[in-house]
Amino acid sequence: MEMEQLVALCKRRGFLFPSSEIYGGLQGFWDYGPLGVELKRNVREAWWRDMVTAHDELSAPPGAPSTYEMTGLDCTIIMHPQVWKCSGHYDLFHDYMVDCRESKRRYRHDQVQGRWVEAKGERIFVATEACGDEALEATEHKALKFFNLRKKKADQLAWQGPLVSLTAVDDFGAVLGPDAKRLGTLTEPREFNLMFKTIVGALGGEEDAAFLRPETAQGIFVNFKNVVDSTRVKIPFGIAQIGKSFRNEITPRNFTFRSREFEQMEIEFFCHPHASLEWYEYWRNRRYRWYVDLGLAGERLRLRDHEPEELPHYSLATADIEYAFPFLADGDFGELEGVAHRGDFDLRSHMEGKLMRRGDELVVDTDEDGTPKHRGSGKDLSYYDDQSKERFTPHVIEPSAGADRATLAFLCEAYREDEVPDEKGKLTRRVFLKLHPRLAPIKAAVFPLVKKDGMPEVAREIYKSLKPEMTAFYDEKGAVGRRYRRQDEAGTPFCITVDGQTMQDGTVTVRDRDTLDQWRIKKEDCAAEIIARLKG
Ligand code: ATP
């Protein structure tokens, strides 16, 4: 599937629109349309249900070291600025970026790549923001232009090695920037804070500056004590949260994959330090299976353990769940979710202040005069186990997923084309979304074959019987074949049609989106039939 086909389907059928489109859109912001909002809600609800409400606290699930509890939170987007100072985001939440003096554009250092090429006795690095084959094309096009060669003379370009990241290039004087005509127009990489700043209060000055949260996790850590004190949860337990996060990404792109406003689904799982590696293993596998169960099977999904040198200083182990999005080069994967063993870093940071690594230890980061750079809350966030009579700072396992990236992956995986016979038996191209029934925005559509002979009345009754149970859609407009196609594109698993035979024997046709099988059932049984089939 080409990404353009999916983007076009999303626009055509109302899954996703550029934000503020009538004003030309705003880069990195997306709106979910009538079908998209249902799809994303279903992703969120499947996550919440599978992780929180349906979790059985009385038995240990397969692979878990013991039973555990799950609970939830819904924290504010704007929090006390000290939260971000102690968490490290204020100082460290940066990406390196480069500016182009010629085009005035700004790029994320690690997202520009290019190839070394030699021609006419000169060796240059041709940079681009494109990925995969597009990047190869773009770099060739730019190199031909730069060396003033016609396409026919492309063999005069001596390419040296494959596409590599700009981060591997030291000699910026030899770099031809992604939108530049001259060499050496890119600045050295600089830090860039990704947090959106805002002012709290009408008269606020700089001292009232606050930030839109760049992740939902910190709201959970700062409420750890509240949850322990106000509920009867006992370690091991997890706190889940779904909510908006904001990052002023330098190069938002690839549809919703990298947005500036997006939604996260995060769990902070608190456990005893002795058991934390076992819990990490459990969550890493549990979260991977969640995507498989909802349809992301196959070689496009993978679980990748981080190499030790990739790990941040506080993490003992991290794995990413990744998907081979169609906009990436062959063999490349994009992150859907990170599952990290974070040790006691977060709770200690909010007790003691911003931490840094010294040797093998985490110590409070101090200024030259020895005072903490960012003071912690001073509150005791340790945990007292009244059975073992032991006090300890829990370790944290963090499965951190993106609702928008998951939704996009489910859409990419679901996009299918095939050929099916139309009413006259002629094979025609069909686009359909093979979404898991739990995720499908509409579960069943009801059609009268024609708009007469009492059929609409019967179809409306069926629609009404479905509506309290599921999202259902009634459609009586146009040829029935076209109505099926519209539902196929929306990913609706079942269509129910009332026809001439219904009026004689009270049965209707049910059609399966994927197999195109059709069978007849009694019209009174529609709701029970669809519910049973949705459950699989
Ligand atoms: P990346 O390296 O792609 O920027 P990240 O490692 O910074 O991602 P995390 O901080 O681990 O991401 O955030 C957890 C999850 O939140 C990611 O796995 C992803 O699903 C989602 N996420 C992060 N940034 C964005 C974004 N800009 N747009 C959409 N989703 C995002």
Please tell me the residue having the least CA distance from ligand 1 atom 1: 335
**What confidence score (pLDDT) does residue 536 get?**
72
pLDDT exceeds 80 at position 40 = yes
**What confidence score (pLDDT) does residue 177 get?**
96
Q: How far is CA 126 from each of CA 105, 142, 157, rounded to the nearest angstrom?
A: 16, 7, 12
Residue 186 Cα to ligand 1 middle (Å):
26
| pLDDT, average across residues 94-123 | 89
pLDDT band at residue 92 using 50, 70 and 90 as cut-offs: low
* Residue 404 Cβ < 6 Å to ligand 1: yes
Number of H helices, E strands in the chain: 14, 29
**What confidence score (pLDDT) does residue 93 get?**
60
CA angle 236–237–242, rounded 5-degree value: 155
Counting Cα atoms < 13 Å in the Cβ hemisphere of 187 gives 16
* Residue 401 Cβ < 6 Å to ligand 1: yes
* Residue 335 Cβ < 6 Å to ligand 1: yes
Residue 223 Cα to ligand 1 middle (Å):
23
Q: Which two three-digit tokens encode residue 245?
A: 């996060």
Q: How far is CA 228 from each of CA 233, 235, 239, 384, 527, rounded to the nearest angstrom?
A: 6, 9, 11, 10, 43
**What confidence score (pLDDT) does residue 520 get?**
97
Number of other residues whose CB lies within 10 A of the CB of residue 105: 16
**What confidence score (pLDDT) does residue 132 get?**
83
Please tell me the residue having the least CA distance from ligand 1 atom 10: 215
Please tell me the residue having the least CA distance from ligand 1 atom 3: 335
Q: Report the atom number in ligand 1 closest to the C-alpha of 260.
A: 27
Please tell me the residue having the least CA distance from ligand 1 atom 27: 258
Q: What is the pLDDT of residues 355-395, one digit of tens each?
A: 988 878 889 999 888 899 899 999 999 999 999 999 999 99
The residue count for the chain: 536
Counting Cα atoms < 13 Å in the Cβ hemisphere of 168 gives 12
pLDDT exceeds 80 at position 94 = no
Q: Which amino acid is at 209?
A: A
pLDDT exceeds 70 at position 478 = yes
pLDDT exceeds 90 at position 433 = yes
pLDDT exceeds 70 at position 39 = yes
Share of residues in the chain with pLDDT > 90 (%): 81
* Residue 262 Cβ < 6 Å to ligand 1: yes
**What confidence score (pLDDT) does residue 338 get?**
97
Please tell me the residue having the least CA distance from ligand 1 atom 21: 402
Residue 340 Cα to ligand 1 middle (Å):
13
**What confidence score (pLDDT) does residue 210 get?**
93
| pLDDT, average across residues 407-420 | 95
Say which DSSP state 461 is in: H
Residue 311 to residue 305: CA distance in whole angstroms: 10
**What confidence score (pLDDT) does residue 329 get?**
85
Please tell me the residue having the least CA distance from ligand 1 atom 26: 258
Residue 506 Cα to ligand 1 middle (Å):
52
Say which DSSP state 183 is in: B
Q: Report the atom number in ligand 1 closest to the C-alpha of 264.
A: 16
In 3D, which of 453, 456, 462, 463 has the Cα closest to residue 524? 462
Please tell me the residue having the least CA distance from ligand 1 atom 22: 402
* Residue 322 Cβ < 6 Å to ligand 1: no
Q: What is the pLDDT of residues 146-184, one digit of tens each?
A: 999 999 999 999 999 999 999 999 999 999 999 999 999
Residue 385 Cα to ligand 1 middle (Å):
35
* Residue 241 Cβ < 6 Å to ligand 1: no
106-110, 231-235, 241-245: least confidently modelled range? 106-110
**What confidence score (pLDDT) does residue 209 get?**
86
What angle separates helix 403-414 from helix 34-48, to the nearest 10 degrees? 110
- In a mutational test of the pocket of ligand 1, which residue from 94, 218, 335 has the highest number of ligand atoms less than 8 Å from its CB? 335
Say which DSSP state 78 is in: B
Q: What is the pLDDT of residues 246-303, one digit of tens each?
A: 999 877 889 999 999 999 999 999 999 999 999 999 999 999 999 999 999 888 999 9
Residue 9 Cα to ligand 1 middle (Å):
25
pLDDT exceeds 90 at position 1 = no
Please tell me the residue having the least CA distance from ligand 1 atom 24: 258
Residue 522 Cα to ligand 1 middle (Å):
48
**Full 3-state SS string of 221-268:** HHCHHHHHHHCCCCCCEEEEEEEEEECCCCCCECCCCECCEEEEEEEE
Residue 401 Cα to ligand 1 middle (Å):
8
Residue 402 Cα to ligand 1 middle (Å):
7
* Residue 128 Cβ < 6 Å to ligand 1: no
Q: What is the pLDDT of residues 51-75, one digit of tens each?
A: 999 999 999 999 999 999 999 999 9
Residue 411 Cα to ligand 1 middle (Å):
18
Name the residue with higher pLDDT: 343 or 313: 343
Please tell me the residue having the least CA distance from ligand 1 atom 2: 335
Please tell me the residue having the least CA distance from ligand 1 atom 30: 402
pLDDT, the chain, mean: 93
pLDDT exceeds 90 at position 2 = no
Q: Report the atom number in ligand 1 closest to the C-alpha of 247.
A: 27
* Residue 258 Cβ < 6 Å to ligand 1: yes
